[in-house]
Amino acid sequence: MRRGDWFSWVMCGLLSGCGEGSADEAGETTAPAGTSASSGGVGSAGTGGSSSAPTSGPSGPGETGVGVTDAGCLAPLELCDGACVDVMHDPRSCGGCGTRCAKELVCVAGECVVACGLTATACGPVCSMLESDPQHCGSCEHACAPGVACVAGSCVPDCAAGEQLCGEQCVDPGNDEAHCGGCDAACPEGQPCVYGSCVAAQVHHLLISGQSLSCGATSPVVSVAQIYGNLAFNTGVRAGGVGLTEFIPLVETWDGSQGETIASGLANMIAEQAQQAGESHVMLVSAHGVGGQPYVALKKGTTPYANGMAQVTAAVAIAGALGKSHAVRALAIVHGESDHIANNLAYADDLLAWQSDYEADVAAITGAPGPLPMFLCQMSSFTKYGSASSRIPAAQLRAAKARPDRVFVVGPKYFMPYTDGVHLTGDGERWLGEYYAKAYRKVLIDGQRWAPLQPQAITRDGAAITIRFAVPAPPLVLDELLVTNPGNFGFEFSDASGAPPAITEVALVDEVTVRVTLASAPVAGNRRIRYAHTGVAGQAAGPTTGARGNLRDSDATASLNGYPLYNWSVHFDELIE
């Protein structure tokens, strides 16, 4: 065979396979008959040389098998059992002599792979489109997270509202320490990311306002020692607005009518949790509320409000003199009774204005603009004021729903101990402070949203009303030990008929759902489901009297003082669509 014919023979074998010969059972190729190392082979230049085709040649796609010349096999062929074989593409000798591919595979670059065509890539036993396959995105070895799409060879998750795509993951720049405020903006070690900013304060200032419950009226002192380094002004927790010259240890004091406030319960629990995490969180707490005063007597432009701003101004100066960084972190409100008496229909809007004014004016003093969240508890003592129900608890919820990033309802107070049906005992104030601490930590240390135990979705099917709750710590519990049952565990149904169907059963459906069954399907309009909404006018608030209910979660957060810290359902009055 002439040299040009031999070259055609080789290319034919490489590209499509030629010849009519057959391989033996093992797929081996044999040297051409009559050819020996001394007599010359195909394309021999000897005068008397002869050439012949091999007795066994390629018989399938990609198979090769060309006789050996006296010069050996030309690259990239290799000698396999006397024949020149392309081990990079021959499925009978793929990657090496005798390494046979399974019949459904082809040999590519010396490896047995599936035949995927021009637009796909073999990834193990499957053909993949690397531009769009989430299991092999951009390369065979790169898989996207579950539920994440592959677009143009990159994993692109569908980020939720408020999230940002950083690389190939969705992050919340509001609380992600590695991406605080934006991608790759990492906080220094030990600094939490809150509202999109790294918090580096050494003194965390909490302002308290409201009426008598914010001042500890009638509440005996129970917190008399400070072991965590938390601070008050030299004028005490109820600091006022003048003579604020230094910080002293935070302890509660009795002034003749006012004692324990929420300050120690809140600050000490936050500090203890920080210590357990190997961190530090020193708090300065100062109150400036006034007993018996509605919002209009406490808002911006009043003396109590001015005292709060004076406390901020003094704290900045004192912390600076001590070489400490200072930040006002939050406003705690304990309020609502006087606005209940005044029947204030605009109370929800007033709360929003209150928070907004504090945020703006504190920023003007500190030079550090940013969110200043308001934490508040629901009023639960309206029966003591001669009312069976009140608009104030619902207004407090509305304010929180209107600004879920700024206003946070800690919870109700119907399960707590009272001295007179309106004011809490010393343990009650400290206990309430620990509830505020749970919400404070969630928002201002963990950087997440706080929501109390409250209805999330309400549906009705005939006589059955199903209420799914937002539950901080499932499962739900109907607890008749800590709170006595006022009837139907505190649930009631109302409609426009004046004689609504009675409730026949209240039952837990699952960890987050309650079903209320009526005696018959309601037919009148304005159908409403209520909880801890109606009590006996004149009764004291508390776990055995007043407007109350038995629904709580299973929160196992440890108290510093042995109090159970379950989250109890808020007072609510909701329309059934």
Residue-wise pLDDT for 341-369, tens only, equals 999 999 999 999 999 999 999 999 999 88
What's the pLDDT score for residue 475? 98
What's the pLDDT score for residue 427? 98
What's the pLDDT score for residue 45? 37
**Lowest mean pLDDT segment, chosen from 43-57, 203-217, 240-254, 537-551:** 43-57
Mean pLDDT of 106-129: 82
Does pLDDT of 387 surpass 70? yes
Does pLDDT of 382 surpass 50? yes
Please tell me which residue, 370 or 290, carries the higher pLDDT value.
290
Structure tokens at 52: 């012949």
Reported residue count of the chain is 577
Cα 340–Cα 430–Cα 272 angle in degrees, nearest 5: 135
What's the pLDDT score for residue 60? 54
Please write the tens of the pLDDT for every residue from 509-566.
999 999 999 999 999 999 999 999 999 999 999 999 999 999 999 999 999 999 999 9
Does pLDDT of 95 surpass 50? yes
What's the pLDDT score for residue 64? 62
**Lowest mean pLDDT segment, chosen from 184-193, 376-385, 405-414, 449-458:** 184-193
In angstroms, the CA 361 to CA 312 distance is 10
Q: What's the pLDDT band for 371 if we cut at 50, 70, 90?
A: very high
Question: How does strand 464-470 pair with strand 513-518?
Answer: antiparallel
Amino acid type, 379: M
Identify the top-confidence range among 42-46, 145-149, 429-433: 429-433
**Lowest mean pLDDT segment, chosen from 24-28, 325-329, 485-489:** 24-28
- Domains of the chain: residue spans and CATH: 1-115 (no CATH), 201-444 (3.40.50.1110), 454-575 (2.60.40)
What's the pLDDT score for residue 18? 41
What's the pLDDT score for residue 38? 35
Structure tokens at 209: 């306002």
Q: What's the pLDDT band for 386 if we cut at 50, 70, 90?
A: very high
Axis crossing angle, helix 347-366 with helix 303-321, rounded to the nearest 10: 30
DSSP bridge partners of 460:
465
Question: How does strand 528-531 pair with strand 491-494?
Answer: antiparallel
What's the pLDDT score for residue 255? 96
Query: What CA dihedral angle connects 243, 247, 252 and 255, to 10 degrees?
Result: -10
Helices (H), 189-336: 212-215, 262-276, 303-321
Mean pLDDT of 64-77: 70
Residues 6+ apart with CB under 8 A from 67: 31, 32, 35, 41, 42, 52, 53, 54, 83, 84
560 C-beta neighbours (distance < 10 Å), count = 18
In angstroms, the CA 511 to CA 553 distance is 9
What's the pLDDT score for residue 65? 59
DSSP bridge partners of 461:
464
Q: Per-residue DSSP letters for 560-576?
A: SSS---PPBPPPEEEE-
Axis crossing angle, helix 262-276 with helix 426-444, rounded to the nearest 10: 50
**Lowest mean pLDDT segment, chosen from 30-34, 166-170, 298-302, 348-352:** 30-34
Does pLDDT of 49 surpass 80? no
Question: How does strand 105-108 pair with strand 126-128?
Answer: unpaired
What's the pLDDT score for residue 66? 57
What's the pLDDT score for residue 67? 56
Mean pLDDT of 421-425: 98
Mean pLDDT of 498-514: 97
Mean pLDDT of 270-282: 94
Mean pLDDT of 151-165: 82
Structure tokens at 368: 């550090």
Does pLDDT of 153 surpass 50? yes
Q: Are 81 and 29 in contact (CB under 8 A)?
A: yes
Q: What's the pLDDT band for 70 if we cut at 50, 70, 90?
A: low
Q: What's the pLDDT band for 68 if we cut at 50, 70, 90?
A: low
Q: What is the mean pLDDT of the chain?
A: 88
What's the pLDDT score for residue 428? 98
Please tell me which residue, 62 or 515, carries the higher pLDDT value.
515
Mean pLDDT of 285-307: 98
HSE, side-chain direction, 13 A CA sphere, residue 226 = 20
In angstroms, the CA 543 to CA 513 distance is 23
Mean pLDDT of 126-141: 88
In angstroms, the CA 46 to CA 32 distance is 17
Q: What's the pLDDT band for 506 if we cut at 50, 70, 90?
A: very high
Task: Give which of 541, 530, 537, 517 is closest to 569, Cα–Cα.
Answer: 530
Q: What is the CA radius of gyration of the chain?
A: 39
| SS3 call for 307 | helix
What's the pLDDT score for residue 575? 97
Burial of residue 320, with CB atoms counted within 10 A of its CB: 0-12 exposed, 13-18 middle, 19 or more buried: exposed
Please write the tens of the pLDDT for every residue from 305-322.
999 999 999 999 999 999
Per-residue burial over 293-307, b if 16 or more Cβ lie within 10 Å, else e, is bbbeebbeeeebbeb
**Lowest mean pLDDT segment, chosen from 186-190, 281-285, 535-539:** 186-190
